[in-house]
Amino acid sequence: MKANALWPLTQRRRKIELETEVSECGTFHMISVRGRLTIDTTPELLAEFRRVMRDDQDIKVDLQQVEYLDSSGISVLIQGLKLAQDHSVGYTLLDPSPKVQAVIELSQLHDFFQIETSAGDLCAGDPPPAG
């Protein structure tokens, strides 16, 4: 068996993508992030931070569906915090996935960020049923 027979000559690269969804939730904006926060995708999240900062409302960044975070991802979360401080608005990381939480802790940033866990959908469109 040839040595290179185990390795394909071309490698398929996983499609790197990030999805963000912004919801207005009364007194704050919820930015839900899904996918991978890497050097290729962080500019999209930074643009969302800048866009929602114009409203001078608190920001909650839902990281529950982030499957991967590298140093660029940490950097953009720090940039979001700095923007929030510049605009005097609150900034909270919400429900970080286990992988994101591990990177935050390894980076010793768990005391730097305000991190919360939710008890469900904080930004539900319909009011709860009466009764």
Which tens digit of pLDDT belongs to each residue from 86-118? Answer: 999 999 999 999 999 999 999 999 899 999 987
Strand order of the β-sheet with 28-37 is 18-25, 28-37, 58-69, 91-94, 115-116
Q: Which fold has domain 16-116?
A: Transcription Regulator spoIIAA (3.30.750)
Q: Please give the Cα distance from 36 to 75 (Å, whole number).
A: 14
**Per-residue confidence band for 73, with pLDDT thresholds at 50, 70 and 90:** very high
- Is the confidence at residue 4, as pLDDT, over 70? no
pLDDT value of residue 127: 43
Answer yes or no: is pLDDT of 69 > 70.
yes
Contact 96, 104 (CB under 8 A): yes
Q: In the chain, at which residue ranges do the beta strands (DSSP E only) sit?
A: 18-25, 28-37, 58-69, 91-94, 115-116
16-20, 35-39, 57-61, 89-93: range with lowest mean pLDDT: 16-20
Q: Is the pLDDT of residue 1 over 50?
A: no
- Confidence at residue 126, expressed as pLDDT on a 0 to 100 scale: 41
Rounded to an integer, the average pLDDT of 35-48 is: 93
pTM reported for the whole predicted model: 0.79
Whether pLDDT at 12 is above 60 = no
Return the sign of the alpha-carbon dihedral for residues 98, 100, 106, 111. Answer: negative
> In the chain, where are the structural domains located?
16-116
Cα angle value 110/43/87 (rounded, 5°)? 60
